[in-house]
Chains A and B, each alone.
With several copies, the nearest count.
Chain A
Amino acid sequence: MGSLSVKLFGKTLRNPVMNASGTLGYGREIEPLWGIETLGAYVTKGLSLNPHHGNPTPRVWEEGRGLINSIGLQNVGVDRFFDEHFPLFQQKRTPIIVNFFGFTEEEYIACAERIRPDRLIVALEMNLSCPNVKRGGISFGKDPDLVHGIVKAVKGVTEIPVIAKLTPEVKNLKEIAQAAYEAGVDGFTLLNTIPAMVVDVEKRTIPIRGGLSGPVLKPVALKAVCEISTSFPVPVIGAGGIMNQNDALSFLMAGAKALQVGTATFIDPYAIPKIVKGLGEYLKRCRCSSINAIVGTACG
């Protein structure tokens, strides 16, 4: 029987399927439906040094087979997360990846410092690309020098592996990845949402500006995963419109070592367990001994 387990940054995950940050609350919310130990690893909602209130509504909008969100990074702050929510993952022995962000370099650093190594913490995932929040108009993911600086600084204050989560910067993606890589980044998550907007033609207003996620992202994210996974010798985690087993396989074959499922959970709250199950069945069908054997097979 094939094994779904993958090794990421020296830790063994029982499968390569994670939730995408911000799409599975603090973890406990999904427990009435399925246990979070189903996940290869739980990715936290984006955390910051201090709590954030987030944006006014509307915060979510349907656009074709896509979702535009403008949550604005509402979160209880890194300390309260570890006080109130981390115990559940300890109890269930579920590895976590801590997604975090800051509005200044200092905030990133202080937030990373706050997170002490733990055998359940697989990595810190730096959200370098939040299109929803515009403090001073700066976005760290925009500029290779900024990326280099911030990754280097974060690497300097933590022993936990650091993942850079990038936005679909299209043509500059490789340049940005290069900057993060040179600063010592341990892996990449691709992609975050794409900036988007809706016009209400009746009211002549813009009901929402935010980040686009869901199936519409998939072909763009696949391209990014293939490009980055063949260019850098560190693991890539794929995200963007993974709705089912087939999408998951596409990302693995494009070079992703692990996967994050976001918007799909809103359409079908069992999407994640179904994908985990589907991957297991696929291994059986193709008589593969390990899921790792298919990683990058389409994009060599």
Chain B
Amino acid sequence: MDDIEGKITKNDEVAPGYYLLRIKLSRPMDPFVPGQFVMVRIPGKDVFLRRPFSIYDYRQPVLTLMYKVVGKGTEILSKSRKNEKVFVLCPLGKGFNLRRRKHYVVLGGGIGIAGVHALIRRLGARSSVFFGCAAKEELALIKDLGDLPVAASTLDGSYGFRGTVVELLSERLATFRKEEMEVLACGPVVMLKALRRILEKDRIPCQVLLEERMACGLGLCFGCVTKTVDEAEPYKRVCKEGPVFDLWEVCL
């Protein structure tokens, strides 16, 4: 874990409001587990706190992030130019635990795909990938996965299945062997809640990557907690005990 200086080598809009950011790190990052994240100091002085982003890809010396513009920080980041310097605190948190199953079902909802991209790459043939988004313009988010089969859904039906990615999975669920599978998911809270509903009956194992506002990303401030079923200590830090949690242990 380290705070590494980097230089932006690419910051392109890949779909409306979505960007792919490549940062050339001045030092190698420690080995990472998919699901881990970084804290980026946004160039300029208008953004005070760092912002968390999943490790989308890392091939020394290039760290790739994918982000959606949702507020001030990502807005300013989207205007950063090539060669600008950034500081990246990385790798952080606890990634997906991949020692358990033979078959993984991976779900990415919208920009949530950024949280599972490195995971999908690492799992290769061991996984079935589901991606849901609003409309076909956002399919650009999975362009990098071109060589892998991805089942896609769009809310407006402009591509693939019409509906949410969880509805799509729900249709296919019967085709998987429940005893051998585990679901790994990242996406908006509504998606994770819907996922919970369809997995509840069989209590299929599931790990989810959660997001929370963060100040430090290091477990120092206890600002980024999520509520869990642990009665003695319900609030766990997303940045330290997470961002990946067992779906059945969190209260969404």
Chain A residues with CB under 8 Å of chain B are: 22-25, 29-30, 32-33, 45, 51, 53-54, 56-62, 64-67, 69, 71, 74, 76, 214, 263, 265-270
A-chain residues with CB within 8 Å of residue B48 when the two chains form the complex: 62, 64-67, 214, 267
Q: Is the interface of A mostly helix, strand, loop or mixed?
A: loop
A-B contact count (CB 8 A): 95
Q: Mark B207-243, 1 if CB is under 8 A from A, else 0.
A: 0000011111011111111110000111100001000
8 A-B contacts, Cβ less than 8 Å apart?
A: A25-B218, A45-B222, A54-B222, A59-B222, A65-B45, A67-B215, A266-B50, A266-B220
B-chain residues with CB within 8 Å of residue A263 when the two chains form the complex: 215
- Interface residues of B toward A: which range? 20 to 34
Does A269 contact B3, Cβ atoms closer than 8 Å?
Answer: yes
- A23 and B220 alpha carbons, distance in the complex (Å): 5
A-chain residues with CB within 8 Å of residue B45 when the two chains form the complex: 65
Give min CB distance, B40 to chain A, whole Å.
Answer: 12
Q: Is the interface of B mostly helix, strand, loop or mixed?
A: loop
Does B226 contact A57, Cβ atoms closer than 8 Å?
Answer: yes
Q: Output the nearest chain A residue to B71 by Cβ-Cβ distance.
A: A62
A-chain residues with CB within 8 Å of residue B125 when the two chains form the complex: none
B98 at the interface (CB under 8 A from A): no
- A23 and B221 alpha carbons, distance in the complex (Å): 5
Does B219 contact A25, Cβ atoms closer than 8 Å?
Answer: yes
- A71 and B213 alpha carbons, distance in the complex (Å): 12
Q: Determine which residue in A60, A71, A74, A268 has the highest number of CB atoms from chain B within 10 A of its CB, and name it.
A: A60
Does A56 contact B49, Cβ atoms closer than 8 Å?
Answer: no
Contact of A33 among B3, B41, B50, B226 (CB under 8 A): B3
9 nearest CB pairs, A to B: A60-B223, A29-B219, A32-B1, A60-B215, A266-B216, A25-B220, A59-B223, A266-B215, A62-B49
Q: Mark B20-57, 1 if CB is under 8 A from A, else 0.
A: 00000000000000000000010001011110000000
- A10 and B244 alpha carbons, distance in the complex (Å): 46
Does B235 contact A54, Cβ atoms closer than 8 Å?
Answer: yes
Contacts A53-B234, A71-B223, A74-B222 given; 4 further ones with Cβ under 8 A? Answer: A59-B213, A60-B223, A66-B48, A270-B3
B-chain residues with CB within 8 Å of residue A268 when the two chains form the complex: 3, 41, 87
Contact of A58 among B49, B213, B233 (CB under 8 A): B213
B89 at the interface (CB under 8 A from A): yes
